[in-house]
Amino acid sequence: MGHKDKYCENRREHHPRVSIGIFFVLLGVALLVATNDMLHLGSVKEYFTWETAMIFIGVLLLLNLQFTGGLLLIAGGAWFLMKDYYGGIPDAMKTFYWPGVIALLGLSFIISSFFKRNRQKIN
């Protein structure tokens, strides 16, 4: 009993219920923002688009420690969201956005390697 309890205690994986709980909390916050028009986008339909779905799923992936996929979804969703809502992307943003995303991707690989290394030491 002691070995199995200690093994479960040391693992850093989320229980599926934790992920579902995080999903519902974030969905509730998104609905609160949309119904009160806190970002001044207009109707609720303007808040729930495929771009915001990409960002939402990316945030969920980040919270589940899947940095690479989460970062890519957030970056792609934000890029297309800027294109639609701001009428275009400023030249400075075009110049620095994707190189910055790629640099963050590199950092996410480094950070995730630390988590994997610690998980292997536990096992």
**Which distant-in-sequence residues (6+ apart) come within 8 Å of 56 by Cβ?**
26, 27, 30
CA 115 – CA 91 distance, rounded (Å): 37
**Which distant-in-sequence residues (6+ apart) come within 8 Å of 10 by Cβ?**
122
pLDDT at 7 over 50: no
At 96-121, the pLDDT tens digits run 888 888 888 888 788 777 776 666 56
pTM for the predicted model, two decimal places? 0.61
- C-beta of residue 108 within 8 angstroms of C-beta of residue 71: yes
CA 23 – CA 17 distance, rounded (Å): 10
